[in-house]
Structure 1
């Protein structure tokens, strides 16, 4: 016997909602890791930033210096040292979460941003984060970003 469409959908709705609750919780946990990364950056707290990173994290930026597109690697050790070294202005990277994708232990996060040195606008672009869920929770394993001064939101 076939169920009419509406009652069948009503019967399936609780199962669909139950499946989305864990995904929503994982999405929130991923966002919290990325948010903590930027809180640490803002505070100049390299230990907080380090706590969001996977042991073998890779950092890249896309640059258009001299009119040529280049992919530049940044040493995680040097990055953390720069974050923790006192600097005159707060490094304030303001992000929004445009997209978070999950598959098991892998998450991909796309965030447009505007970067300010103190209250002064510096540049904007997009971050692409890859995170992996380790025993300690979600950790950033790869970051690549773009940087520009024009065409910012």
Structure 2
């Protein structure tokens, strides 16, 4: 009886023990990390083609949620407070995003940190902290989440959702230090 109990306990403990990452899991994470890096660099380089190749299709979910504090600040600083309150939600698409970056004369960069990847090898959730800068001005920051799928052509971003705190300090005026 003791041997049976010991075998059951040992088997149960092995089932609960963290499993070593398989070579396929490591390779998948490395491929996803490469997508993240290509995303980041294509923004800096204003490379529309490289950027758009990262997405499953043009019309993915692309939604930002502005923090309540940022909405209050925007509303309080409107020239006419009677105007409609700004929306918390911002919807767009990858093409409009990279086009606006390519048209911006300033250096644009999205910094990415604290990346977390959860994947079963076919789908993945990517979660990270970001901050977005135009020139030396930090425009907004928050958390960003991607849903990804592994296709025949590699990992593709299927949805992007983020929070955004807007910088309450206006950008410096051109020609001022």
TM-score range, shorter chain: 0.7 to 0.9
Larger Rg: 2
* Structure 2 equivalent of residue 130 of structure 1: 147
Give the whole-Å Cα distance in 1 for the aligned partners of 2:23 and 2:125: 19
Which digits, 9 at most, give the CA deviation of each residue in 1:78-121, with x for residues without a partner?
22322332x22111111014310002311101110122212222
Cα distance change of structure 1 residues 77 and 121 upon mapping to structure 2, 3 Å threshold? closer
Any unmatched runs of 5+ in structure 1? 10-15
Any unmatched runs of 5+ in structure 2? 76-84, 168-177
Residue 96 in structure 1 maps to residue 113 in structure 2: yes
Check whether the contact 2:46–2:98 (CA below 8 A) recurs between aligned residues. no
User: More strand by proportion, 1 or 2?
Assistant: 1
Aligned length: 140
Give the whole-Å Cα distance in 1 for the aligned partners of 2:138 and 2:94: 25
Displacement, 1:129? 0.7
Which digits, 9 at most, give the CA deviation of each residue in 1:4-52, with x for residues without a partner?
x7xxx8xxxxxx54x5221111111111112211111111111111011
Give the whole-Å Cα distance in 1 for the aligned partners of 2:53 and 2:155: 10
Give the whole-Å Cα distance in 1 for the aligned partners of 2:38 and 2:88: 28
Q: 2:27 aligns with which of 15, 25, 28?
A: 25
